[in-house]
Amino acid sequence: MTRRVLGRAFLVSLLLLGAAGAASYTVKAGDTLYSVARTNGTTVAELTRLNRLGSTALEVGQVLTLPGTSSGSAPAAPAPASAPATSPILPATTGASLPGVAVRAPFSLRMGDGFTLRLSGVRAGQASVRFPSEVGEDVRRPNEVLKPIGAAGEYLVPGRVVLGKTTPVVYEVSVGGDLVRGQIPVTGLDQPIQHLNLPVSVTNKLQDPARAAEEAAVEKAYARRTPQVWSRPFSPALASTRGTSSGFGQPRTYLAGGPVAYHYGTDYPAPTGTPVLAVNDGTVIIAGKYPVRGNLVVIDHGAGVVSMYFHQSRLLVKAGQKVVRGQKLGEVGTTGLSAGPHLHLEVRVRGEATNPAGWMNRLWPR
């Protein structure tokens, strides 16, 4: 085990410009790579590729090349010439360590993955963990100081890769005066944009004045930090499924020509009335009807992890109620912004959507 205390300048942003003649955008104060991508109908991955960006950091006045409309098939750009190849960052896998703490992390991640950092050693329980790569990203409470969760000789910290992010996740573990950083490469999902072209009667729900209260309620749920309550693997929310009708992380537009949004959950088509089951033990923190999510249940499982069940036809639980894995919460329906009976399931880590598939049949995502 090698002790490494790394310096600050570990990620260098390379601000090379793309081909002349393409559409471009000049960065203004307050812009993030994600917001620029979203407002221009593209993705962070595409902007990163086109501009050969080495990080998500932007500078005011920086000119970004946007995907052209007349370029046909653009030649594939070489892999971003970013800092990782030459920086002193530890390899993107296990082995990061400092005195009394060994850190294990996934080899690689995909956009929207939930994941787990695993700490062991005599000082693991006293360590603090942060994800400094979240600074400047469109993410709730970036770089929060996290205390690992003790579990039988091992300590865990759940992480999340936000949708739209393809730059490496950087983690930082500190204990006493010692500090180690590591990084994990991230790949995109490369899903083509799905154009839903929903009827105006459905999308009118996006203008419903009750939406502000809906968003406030879910943001309050995302901000909760309670102790982990589950001790068994997560299980599916439907007893049987007929596949998915819209996958996690799918980029989509709701109206023709409208802005691109990511799909923060997974849609499981099922007949109205199909039982909706808790994916694990927890406390119901929201059970009510909202304009977009319809009849919604949110369960706090602790450790910053919540699961969300949208569009139900009816609800059988109340806020404040403790539930166990597999317990019936309600029934599948098509309430809220929904075009047919299905369950939309989300699993969020500290407010950010993670791929539900990564949790199923596991105690923690990898």
CB closer to Zn ion out of 344 and 350: 344
CB closer to Zn ion out of 18 and 330: 330
CB closer to Zn ion out of 214 and 267: 267
User: Interface with Zn ion includes 346 (CB under 5 A)?
Assistant: no
Stretch that binds Zn ion, among 50-58, 155-163, 171-179, 340-348 (CB under 5 A): 340-348
Query: Among residues 267, 281, 300, 346, which is the contact residue for Zn ion, using CB under 5 A?
Result: 267
At residue 109, the 3 state secondary structure works out as strand
Taking the complex as a whole, the smallest distance from the CB of residue 96 to Zn ion amounts, in Å, to 36
Q: Count CA atoms within 13 Å of residue 245 on its CB side.
A: 13
Taking the complex as a whole, the smallest distance from the CB of residue 345 to Zn ion amounts, in Å, to 8
Give CA–CA dist 252/267, Å, rounded.
13
Counting other chains too, the contacts that 87-91 makes at CB distance below 8 Å and 24 or more residues apart are 87/10, 87/11, 87/12, 88/4, 88/6, 88/7, 88/10, 89/6, 89/10, 89/170, 89/181, 89/182, 89/183, 90/4, 90/180, 90/181, 90/182, 90/183, 91/182
Give CA–CA dist 115/304, Å, rounded.
13
Cα dihedral angle (290, 294, 297, 298), rounded to 10 degrees? -60
CB closer to Zn ion out of 52 and 344: 344
**Pair type for strands 96-98 and 101-104:** antiparallel
User: Interface with Zn ion includes 344 (CB under 5 A)?
Assistant: yes
CB closer to Zn ion out of 106 and 265: 265
Q: Indicate the length of the chain as a whole number.
A: 366
Taking the complex as a whole, the smallest distance from the CB of residue 215 to Zn ion amounts, in Å, to 16
Taking the complex as a whole, the smallest distance from the CB of residue 250 to Zn ion amounts, in Å, to 9
When CB distances to Zn ion are compared, the closest residue is 344
Count of residues touching Zn ion (by CB under 5 A): 3
- How remote is the C-alpha of 44 from its chain's centroid? 14
Stretch that binds Zn ion, among 145-153, 229-237, 323-331, 339-347 (CB under 5 A): 339-347
Taking the complex as a whole, the smallest distance from the CB of residue 263 to Zn ion amounts, in Å, to 6
102-121 positions binding Zn ion, by CB under 5 A: none
Pick the closest to residue 83 from 92, 96, 74 (CA basis). Answer: 92
49 membership: H or E segment, kind and range: helix 44-51
Taking the complex as a whole, the smallest distance from the CB of residue 336 to Zn ion amounts, in Å, to 10
Per-residue binder mask for Zn ion (CB under 5 A), 224-263, x = binder = ----------------------------------------
Taking the complex as a whole, the smallest distance from the CB of residue 286 to Zn ion amounts, in Å, to 17
Give the residues across from 169 on adjacent strands: 184
User: Interface with Zn ion includes 348 (CB under 5 A)?
Assistant: no
- In the structure, how many helices (H) and strands (E) does the chain have? 4, 25
CB closer to Zn ion out of 265 and 333: 265
CB closer to Zn ion out of 40 and 203: 203
Taking the complex as a whole, the smallest distance from the CB of residue 344 to Zn ion amounts, in Å, to 3
CB closer to Zn ion out of 80 and 351: 351
The site for Zn ion (CB under 5 A) is made up of 265, 267, 344
